[in-house]
Amino acid sequence: MVIRRRKQPGCQAITIAVTLLGALALIVAPTAAFALDFLSIAAPAVLFDAPSSKAKPLFIIHPGTPVERVISLEGWVKVRDNKGDLAWIEKKHLSETRQVMVIVARAQIRAAADDKAALVFEAERDVVLTLLETLPAGWAKVKHRDGQQGFIKSAQVWGL
């Protein structure tokens, strides 16, 4: 004896909708997984080789230094610096303030997001600037701790 199921009205539409949602999730998920999460150091802090104050201290990091959050674990955060080095820091030493670090010998900060705009100032390698805004076409608006601000090419800084 063969038993046949009766198709419910709208069943095919639901199946298609679920399939489309699954496909959309596969497209969006990788993008979210690779989003970079940058923070800055709030005060001088020790970086460790493991998530514990009893771990081996590696070095002291300066306030304002931008770092990339790799993973968080019970009050500790594994961070990557601009050279790619990984270390652990207590979460309480981190700030949500966005900073960027100059990675070229001399970066030009201009009055507008244009190569032909007037030069406001230059910043040497490893100078930390506060990120005010990211702009299209590879520019960012930044501010120096002395108060000067302008626009820098994104390729000249790390932390975006």
- pLDDT tens-digit map of 89-124: 999 999 999 999 999 999 999 999 999 999 999 999
The CATH fold assigned to 99-158 is SH3 type barrels. (2.30.30)
pTM above 0.85, yes or no: no
> Is pLDDT above 70 for 28?
no
Q: What is the pLDDT of residues 31-73, one digit of tens each?
A: 334 457 999 999 999 999 999 999 999 999 999 999 999 999 9
Torsion angle of the four alpha carbons 9, 12, 18, 23, in this order, in degrees rounded to the nearest 10: -160
Q: Which of the four CATH numbers 2.30.30.40, 3.30.110.30, 3.40.50.1100, 1.10.10.10 does domain 38-95 have?
A: 2.30.30.40
Given its phi and psi angles, is residue 126 left (phi above 0), alpha (psi -120 to 50 degrees) or beta? left
Q: What is the pLDDT of residue 36?
A: 76
**Single-letter residue type at 62:** H
How far is Cα 4 from Cα 28, in angstroms, rounded to an integer? 39
Which residue in this structure is represented by tokens 């069943």?
A: 11
Domain ranges of the chain: 38-95, 99-158
Residue among 149, 153, 106 at smallest CA distance from 129: 149
